[in-house]
Amino acid sequence: MRKERARGDMKKQGYNPTQCSACLHQCNEECPAFDVCAKRILIVGGITKLKAHYRKLVEKKGAIFEYHDGYMNGGTRGLEGRVRRSDVVLCPVSCNSHTACLCLKRLCLKHKKPVRMISSASLSAISKALIGQQPVLN
């Protein structure tokens, strides 16, 4: 059900939900991007100037991109809404405060969302996290 809703969201955004750039045909278990294809990926924090590159990287894998800058000054309401909508959450710890990381972990536990705490906000670290080469903390 959730995957169907994500595919509908992708269609509204102009994506072809049956095709991802990783497999160039109908996405199935043989696709290298199968784990993220048609899922909503939330990146919390990171380098704001790289947001467009993060988006391109996530969408190239066939996923839907969401971003939260990691600033917690306005409370957790905006972050919690994004976490609730997401299928997978990525959090580069190198550019997030300890408070933001702990808050994010708690929100992901509360809403039963997998979170991948990654050591760097680089494009290569994000890419590795997307293909599952980073540990998932539940």
The pLDDT tens digits of the residues spanning 66-107 come to 999 988 877 788 899 999 999 999 999 998 888 889 999 999
What mean pLDDT is predicted for residues 25-50? Answer: 76
101-119 pLDDT, tens digit each: 999 999 999 999 999 999 9
Residue 88 lies in a domain: yes
Residue 11 lies in a domain: yes
Residue 137 lies in a domain: no
Cβ 137 vs Cβ 115: under 8 Å:
yes
Residue 16 lies in a domain: yes
Residue 93 lies in a domain: yes
The answer, as to whether pTM is greater than 0.95, is: no
Cβ 69 vs Cβ 94: under 8 Å:
no
Question: Domain residues for 47?
Answer: 2-130
Residue 138 lies in a domain: no
Residue 136 lies in a domain: no
